[in-house]
Amino acid sequence: MSIAERRAGIGLASVFAMRMLGLFLILPIFAVYARELPSGDDLALVGLALGAYGLMQTFLQIAFGMASDRFGRKPVIVFGLLLFAAGSFVAASADDIYGIIAGRLLQGSGAISAAVTALAADLTREQHLTKVMAMIGSSIGLVFALSMVAAPLLYAGVGMSGIFVLTGGLSLLAIFIVLRVVPRAPAIPCQPGWASFVEVLRDRNLQRMNFGVFTLHLVQTAMWVILPSSLVNAGALPLGEHWKLYLPAVVLSFAVMVPAIVLAERRDQTKLLFNSGIMLLLAVLAGFAFFGHGLYSLALWLVLFFVAFNILEAVQPSLISRIAPSHAKGAALGVYNTTQSLGLFLGGVLGGVLSKTLGGNALWLVCALLVSVWLVLGLTLDVPRARIRPAP
C-alpha cells in the first residue's frame, strides 16, 4: 500500500475504534449498573437503553451515506461525531434510565459508519481494499474485546458517568484525526441519490450481506443482556472481576483470528473464512443454550464467540465494499449500516423481552435460528475478485 493508503487505513480505523469503544464499554456492565437506577430493574428498559443507539442509526444511516455521496465524506463524518459526543455528555449527566436512553438516542443520531467506510474505499485502490477494510473491521473487533476487559475496571474507577464522559472525549479526538491525519478525499461524481438507493436495494448479494450484519449485531447486543448476570450467578464472579475472564478469552481469540485472516487473504479464500465464522457462531449459540451452565463452560464459549465475532467483523466490510457498485458506495454502505444498526436495536429489545418472558435459553435458540438462515445465504454469496490497479 502507498503511504496515503496506510494513513487512510490507520486514521479511519482509529476513528471507528474510538467511536465503537464508547458503545461497547457499556455492554458488559450496564445490565448490572442499571439496577441502581430508578426503573433499572426492568429488563425491557435495560434492553431499550442498550439498543436505543441502533434505533437512531437505523433511521439515519442511509441519509448520512447518501449525503456523503453528494456533499463529501469529511463534513458528514465531523457532523456525526459532534452529535455522538453530545449524546455521550447527555448520558453522563443522567440520573435515571430514561435519561440514559435519551443520551443513547442522541449518540445514535451521529450515523457515520457508511460515510467512513465509503471514504476508505475512495482513498484505497481496489487490490488493497480488503486490507484497509480488514483494518477497520479488525479495529471494531479489537475495541470490542478491549471493552470487555476495560469496562469492569473503568466502572470501578470512574463509574458509568465517567465512562460516558470518556466516550464523548474520544469522539472529539476522532474529529481531529479526520481533519488532520486522514488524507483529503477525492472529488466524488454527483450521483442521482434515489436511483443509487434503488440499485443497491435490488442487489441480491448486498441483500445477503445486509441480513448477515443485521444478525451478527443482533446477537452481539442480545447476549450481553443476560451474560454478565450469568457470570455473576454461575461463577460467583463479581462484576469488577469479569476482566479476569475476558482478558485471556480475548488474547486467545486474536491468536486464532489474525493468522486465519492473513492465510485466507493470501489464498483468496475470504468467502470460506466468512462462512466458517458463521458456522462457529452457530456452534457458540448452541453451546450457550445447552452447555453454558458453569464458569469454565461459559469461558470456553466466550473464547469461541470472540473468535467468530472478530473474524466476521474483519471480513464483512471488505466483502461489502467489493460487492457494492463503485458509483454508489455511500448508498450501499448506508443500507448495510442501517441493517447493522437495526440489529443493534432489536438485539437489545429482543434480549430484554425474551429474557424477561421466556428465559435465557429462548434467547440463545432464537439467535441460533437467525444465524442458521444467515449461513444458508452466506453459502450462496457471489464474491467478485479484486481488480488490480497500479499506484497513482
Q: Which residue has the higher pLDDT, 255 or 109?
A: 109
Average pLDDT of the chain to the nearest whole number: 79
Segment among 34-43, 211-220, 236-245, 334-343 with least mean pLDDT:
236-245
268-308 tens-digit pLDDT: 777 888 899 999 999 998 888 887 677 777 778 888 888 88
Identify the structural domains of the chain with CATH numbers, from first to last. 3-184+192-379 (1.20.1250.20)
391 band by pLDDT with thresholds 50, 70 and 90: very low
Rounded distance between C-alpha atoms, residue 270 and residue 71, angstroms: 33
60-89 tens-digit pLDDT: 877 887 788 778 889 999 999 999 999 999
| Residue 256 scores a pLDDT above 50 | yes
Nearest to 62 by CA among 340, 349, 377: 340
151-196 tens-digit pLDDT: 878 888 888 888 889 989 999 999 999 998 888 876 655 554 555 6
Report the predicted TM-score, pTM, of the whole model to 2 decimal places. 0.70
